[in-house]
Amino acid sequence: MSREQIKSRLYQELKIKNEVNIEGVAADPAIFRHLDLGGEVQEQVHLCFEMDHETHEGFDLPTGYTTPGGLRVAFHWDSRSDFRIVYDGGEYVLTHKGKELFPVSFDKRPKYYALSASDGTPFSRIAGYASGYTGGGTVSIAYSNECSLKEKGQDCLFCNINATKDTYSEIQGIKWKNPKQIGEAVAAAYRLDGVTHTNLTGGFVPERREVDYYIDVAEAIQESTGLRDFNGTAVIGAPLDLDIIDRYKEAGFRTLAMNLEMWDPNFYAAILPGKVAECGGREHWIKAIEYAAKVFGKGKVRSGFVAGIEPKKATLEGVEYFASIGVLSLTGAWTPNPGSALEGHRTPHAEWHLDMAYKCHEIFKKYGFSYKDYFDIAPSPNFLIHDLFAIDEEIVPAFGEVAGENAKESDRIA
C-alpha cells in the first residue's frame, strides 16, 4: 500500500472518528464480559469530567479503542447512537446502522494502574492515562474533582465537573490529590509506561492557594522522578497578578494553559459567569495569555475553546490570533455533558467539527507548529489535531506498513 493510499484510508477513519466523537457509541454492556476490563483493558475512571453522553453508575466501560490504521477513539457512551460496537466471532467491531465499519482494539491498561501510592490510594484514582503516537503518552491529573464556582452559582454552563463528582466520586473513590500522591503516580507512569508528559488541572481555587499547591506538586514530581524538567503543563485560572505566571515556570512546568473557552465577548459573558467575576473578565484573561506567551515562549502556552457554542468564525479568529503570538489552542467538540447547564442541547453536526479541525490544523502549520508542540500542551494526545499532525508527519502506526514493505522489497532485491 502506498503512502497516499494509507493517508486516504486514515482520513476516512478520521472522518468516522469525528462522527463517533459527536454522536457517541452504543454497546450492550454485556459484551464487555469478554474483555478483561480493569485488568488487561483500561477502564474509565472519571477523575474530572464525565465525557460519556449518559451516566453509567451500574457498570464499567472502556476508555477507548483504536482503528485499524492506528487512530485512537475515545469511548463516549450513548445508548441512542447509530454507531454501535458489537462482539462478533471473537472480535469487537464498530458498526453504523448495522453496517460493519471495521474491527477495533481496546486500550491496554497501563502498568502503573496496578500499583498504589504509599498511602494506599490506587494510582488509577490519581492520574489518568492516554497513549500518544511517538511513544509514551500523557498522564492527566485533576487534583480536585470539584469547582468552587458552584457555591457562587457561577459554573461555566458547559461544565459538569461538580455533577461528575456527585455521580462517581463515591463509586470510584475519587478524592482530592496531595502532592506526594501525584509525585509517586507520575514517577510510576514514567518508569513503567514510558509516559513523557504530565497535565495538572482542577476546579477553581483562590489563585494564591493555587500557585502554592502547583509548586508543591512540581517539587514532588521532581523528587519522585529525578527530573527537573518533567514536561509538565499547569492548567490555571488567569491570575489577577500576572507576575504569578513567572512562578509556574520557575517551579519547573514546561508549559502553561489558561482556557479562554469563548472568543466572542457576548458569548464569553453569557457562558462563563465565573470567569467574568473571578478572573477579571475576557480582556484580562487574554492579557494573561499574552503575558504567559512571553514568559514561556512559542508553543509553550495553550488556551482551550469549547468548539460549537459560539459561531465558528469567532473561534477561528481566536485560534488565529493566539497562534500568531505563539499560543496553541484546543478546539475539541463541545459535548452537552450530563449534569451541565446545557445538558440536552445539541452540538453542531460532525461536518462542522471536522471542518473546524482541518482549518485549525492549517493555521497551526502556517505558524510553524508540529505534532510534538501539540503533544506537549494537550491534556490528552488524542484530539483530531493530533491525528492530522500525525498523518501529515507520517507517524501514525499505519505508516509502519510502508516501512515493512520497503524492507521486504530490499531483502528480496538483495
pLDDT at position 206 is 56
Q: Are residues 86 and 116 in the same domain?
A: no
The closest alpha carbon to 386, from 310, 328, 311, belongs to 328
Task: Report residue 384 as a C-alpha cell.
Answer: 483530531
DSSP 224-254: HH--S---EEEE-PPPSSTTHHHHHHHHT-S
Examine residue 409 and state whether it is found in any structural domain, yes or no.
no
Examine residue 375 and state whether it is found in any structural domain, yes or no.
yes
Q: Are residues 151 and 17 in the same domain?
A: no
pLDDT at position 205 is 66
Examine residue 411 and state whether it is found in any structural domain, yes or no.
no
Phi, psi of 96 (to 5 degrees): -135, 115
pLDDT at position 407 is 38
Q: Are residues 226 and 363 in the same domain?
A: yes
Task: Report residue 361 as a C-alpha cell.
Answer: 490544523
Q: For residue 359, how many C-alpha atoms fall within 13 Å in the half-sphere facing its CB? A: 18
Q: For residue 2, how many C-alpha atoms fall within 13 Å in the half-sphere facing its CB? A: 3
Q: For residue 109, how many C-alpha atoms fall within 13 Å in the half-sphere facing its CB? A: 20
Q: Are residues 284 and 256 in the same domain?
A: yes
Q: Are residues 52 and 129 in the same domain?
A: no
Q: Are residues 184 and 234 in the same domain?
A: yes
**Residue 302, pLDDT above cutoff 70:** yes
Q: How far is CA 250 from CA 22, 232, 294, 378, in A?
A: 39, 12, 14, 21
**Residue 259, pLDDT above cutoff 90:** yes
Examine residue 404 and state whether it is found in any structural domain, yes or no.
no
Residue 201 amino acid letter: T
Judged by DSSP in three states, 32 sits in helix
Task: Please give the helix or strand (H or E) that residue 327 lies within, else none.
Answer: strand 327-330
Examine residue 236 and state whether it is found in any structural domain, yes or no.
yes
Domain of 15 in residue numbering reads as 3-106
- Sign for the pseudo-dihedral over CA of 342, 346, 350, 353: negative
Q: Are residues 317 and 361 in the same domain?
A: yes
Q: Are residues 212 and 63 in the same domain?
A: no
What are the tens digits of pLDDT across the range 387-409?
A: 999 999 999 999 986 544 443 43
Q: Are residues 83 and 139 in the same domain?
A: no
pLDDT at position 160 is 74
DSSP single-letter state for residue 203: S
Examine residue 102 and state whether it is found in any structural domain, yes or no.
yes
**Residue 357, pLDDT above cutoff 50:** yes
What are the tens digits of pLDDT across the range 185-205?
A: 999 999 999 999 999 998 766
Q: Of the residues 106, 140, 172, which one is the last residue of a structural domain?
A: 106
- Four-CA torsion 329, 334, 339, 343, nearest 10 degrees: 150
Q: Quickly state the pLDDT bin for 269 (edges 50, 70, 90).
A: very high
Domain count, the chain: 2
Q: Of the residues 65, 88, 106, which one is the last residue of a structural domain?
A: 106
How far apart are the C-alpha atoms of 67 and 391, rounded to whole Å? 14
Rg (CA), the chain: 21
**Residue 314, pLDDT above cutoff 90:** yes
Q: How far is CA 100 from CA 21, 71, 85, 205, 247, in A?
A: 18, 18, 9, 47, 53
pLDDT at position 136 is 84
Q: Are residues 98 and 168 in the same domain?
A: no
Of the listed ranges 77-91, 109-123, 253-267, 271-285, the one predicted with least confidence = 271-285
The predicted model gives 312-320 an average pLDDT of 98
153 class by beta-carbon count within 10 Å (0-12 exposed, 13-18 middle, 19+ buried): exposed
How far apart are the C-alpha atoms of 261 and 68, rounded to whole Å? 33
How far apart are the C-alpha atoms of 371 and 374, rounded to whole Å? 5
CATH of the domain at 153: 3.20.20.70
209 class by beta-carbon count within 10 Å (0-12 exposed, 13-18 middle, 19+ buried): exposed
Q: Of the residues 79, 106, 133, which one is the last residue of a structural domain?
A: 106
Q: Are residues 139 and 223 in the same domain?
A: yes
How far apart are the C-alpha atoms of 235 and 238, rounded to whole Å? 10
Examine residue 27 and state whether it is found in any structural domain, yes or no.
yes
Q: What percent of the chain has pLDDT over 70?
A: 93
Q: Are 334 and 308 in contact (CB under 8 A)?
A: yes
Examine residue 405 and state whether it is found in any structural domain, yes or no.
no
Q: Are residues 39 and 169 in the same domain?
A: no
Of the listed ranges 29-38, 55-64, 207-216, 327-336, the one predicted with least confidence = 207-216
Of the listed ranges 48-52, 342-346, 353-357, the one predicted with least confidence = 48-52
Task: Report residue 3 as a C-alpha cell.
Answer: 503512502
Q: For residue 133, how many C-alpha atoms fall within 13 Å in the half-sphere facing its CB? A: 31
319 or 411: which carries more pLDDT confidence? Answer: 319
pTM: 0.93
173 or 311: which carries more pLDDT confidence? Answer: 311
Number of CB atoms found within 10 A of residue 343's CB: 15
68 class by beta-carbon count within 10 Å (0-12 exposed, 13-18 middle, 19+ buried): middle
